[in-house]
Amino acid sequence: MNKEQIFQTDKEYYMPVFARYQIVLSHGEGPYVYDIDGKKYIDFLAGIAVNVLGHAHPALTAAVAQQAGKLIHCSNLYYTEEQAKLAKSLAELSGLDKVFLANSGAEANEGAIKLARKYGKTVSADKYEIITAEHGFHGRTMATLTATAQPKYQQGYEPLPGGFKYVPYNDINALTEQVSEKTCAVILEPIQGEGGVNTPDDNYIDQVRALCDKYGALLIFDEIQTGIGRTGKMFAYQHSNTKPDIVTLAKGLGGGVPIGAFIASNKVAQAFAPGDHGSTFGGNPLACAAANAVLGVIAEQNLLQNVETVAKYMLDELTKLQNKYPQIISQVRGKGLMLGVKLTKPGRDIVNACMEQGAIINCTAGDVLRFVPPLNITKAHVDEVITILDKVMAIA
Ligand SMILES: *Cc1c(COP(=O)(O)O)cnc(C)c1O
Distance 390 CA to ligand 1 centre (A): 31
Closest ligand 1 atom number to CA of residue 194: 15
Strands 368-371 and 362-364: what pairing? Answer: antiparallel
Residue nearest to atom 15 of ligand 1 (CA): 225
Q: Which pLDDT score is estimated for 178?
A: 98
- The predicted pLDDT at position 92 comes to 98
- pLDDT score at 209: 98
- Confirm or reject: Cβ of 382 under 6 Å from ligand 1: no
249-260 mean pLDDT: 98
326 Cα–ligand 1 center, Å: 32
Using DSSP's 3-state secondary structure scheme, residue 382 falls into: helix
pLDDT value, residue 396 = 84
User: What's the gap in Å between 231 CA and the centre of ligand 1?
Assistant: 16
What gap in Å lies between CA 363 and CA 309, rounded to an integer?
Answer: 24
Say whether pLDDT at 15 is over 90: yes
Q: What's the pLDDT band for 350 if we cut at 50, 70, 90?
A: very high
State the Cα–Cα distance between residues 42 and 212, nearest whole angstrom: 42
Q: Across residues 151-165, what is the average pLDDT?
A: 98
Ordered by where they begin, the domains of the chain are 3-56+302-394 (3.90.1150.10), 71-300 (3.40.640.10)
80 lines ligand 1 (CB under 6 A): no
Residue owning the nearest CA to atom 11 of ligand 1: 138
- Distances from the Cα of 247 to the Cαs of 8, 238, 333, in angstroms? 41, 12, 23
pLDDT tens-place string over residues 59-80: 999 999 999 999 999 999 999 9
262 in Cβ contact with 283 (< 8 Å): no
- Residues with Cβ within 8 Å of residue 19, at least 6 apart in sequence: none
Phi-psi group of 240: left, alpha or beta (phi > 0 → left; psi -120 to 50 → alpha; rest → beta): beta
Q: Using only the alpha carbons of the chain, give its radius of gyration.
A: 21
DSSP 280-311: SSTT-HHHHHHHHHHHHHHHHTTHHHHHHHHH
106 Cβ inside 6 Å of ligand 1: yes
- For the entire predicted model, the pTM comes to 0.98
Q: Please identify, by atom number, the ligand 1 atom nearest to the C-alpha of residue 140.
A: 9
- Whether the CB of 190 sits within 6 Å of ligand 1: no
Q: What distance in angstroms lies between residue 139's CA and the mean position of ligand 1's atoms?
A: 5
Full 3-state SS string of 9-63: HHHHHCCCCCCCCCCCEEEEEECEEEECCCCEEEECCHHHHCCCCCECCHHHHHH
Tens of pLDDT, residue by residue over 128-151, are 999 999 999 999 999 999 999 999
CB count in 10 Å sphere of residue 271: 18
Q: Which residues are catalytic?
A: 137, 222, 251
The response to whether residue 137 sits with its C-beta less than 6 Å from ligand 1 reads: yes
How confident is residue 44, by pLDDT bands cut at 50, 70 and 90? very high
Kindly give the distance from the C-alpha atom of residue 143 to the centroid of ligand 1, in angstroms, as a whole number: 13
Q: Where do runs of H (alpha helix) occur along the chain?
A: 3-13, 46-49, 58-68, 81-94, 105-123, 142-147, 151-154, 172-178, 204-215, 266-269, 285-300, 303-324, 348-356, 379-394
Note the pLDDT of residue 5.
98
Which atom of ligand 1 sits closest to the CA of residue 226?
13
Site to probe by mutation for ligand 1, drawn from 137, 220, 246, 257 as the one with most ligand atoms within 8 Å of Cβ, is: 137
With H, G, I as helix, E, B as strand and everything else as coil, classify residue 343. Answer: strand
Average pLDDT value for residue range 36-50? 98
